Amino acid sequence: LSGVPREHRAFQYLLAHAVPGDPRHVLSTFDRWSYRHEHLSCVGPVKGRIVERLLAERAPRRVLELGTHLGYSAVLLAAGLPPGARLYTVAVEPQHGAVAEKVIRLAGFDERTVELIVGPTDVVIPRLRQHHGLAQADFVFMDHRKRWYLRDLRLLETHRLLAPGATVLADNVLFPGAPHFLQYAKTCGRYRCRLHRASLEY
């Protein structure tokens, strides 16, 4: 009714309530908005703990996120990086990318730590090495369109962007579901697969 997109309403709430430069507070403010006001398709705190645990176990130097949306998971990933590590996050929708950029900077991460790239993933992935300096990723987080998961995993393989022993973490593979991606990951012989059971966010 206000004419203001939901994403911008959420960002206005962040500006009013989040502590700048405090990524944990930015995330908890996002969570409060989603619990009390309007649902956002963010990772959320329950699945967020799985992401944090895997980051702590792997300590990746180069992280690639496919599906920035509003920047929630980018802030979550950046907060869990070891010193000197870098996150490359790909926003498919330009209007979401504009909000995510502000959220990431509000949380205190500059371009040396988090590089936001806007564009379709099938266009961005082949350009990551030459145009963005990402030789290989140690950790990939997928949370964009589920029908693109398999296509983009194959693109990462084709362009040799997965470091030896890399972790690929994909959200919502059971619901709404990415069955072709899941079948490929289980049967192609290149991956050891593990399902993390979790509820839908919020």
Backbone angles phi, psi at 116, to 5 degrees: -95, 130
Domains of the chain (ranges, CATH numbers)? 43-188 (3.40.50.150)
- Is 138 a residue of the active site? no
146 catalytically annotated: yes
Token representation of residue 192? 């050891």
pTM comes to: 0.96
Which pLDDT score is estimated for 21?
98
- Mean pLDDT, rounded, of the chain: 96
Catalytic position from the list 31, 65, 138, 143: 143
Active site residue 171: yes
Token pair listed for 147? 């029908």
Catalytic, out of 146, 152, 157, 186: 146
Out of 7, 31, 101, 171, pick the active-site residue. Answer: 171
Query: Per residue in 113-163, pLDDT tens?
Result: 999 999 999 999 999 999 999 999 999 999 999 999 999 999 999 999 999
Are 50 and 78 spatial neighbours (Cβ–Cβ below 8 Å)? Answer: no
Q: Is the pLDDT of residue 6 over 90?
A: no
Q: Catalytic one among 65, 101, 152, 201? A: 201
Could you write out the DSSP letters of every residue in 123-172? HHGGGHHHHH----EEEEEE-S-GGGHHHHHHHHHHTT-EEEEEEEEES-
| pLDDT higher than threshold 60 for residue 1 | no
Confirm whether 186 is a catalytic residue: no
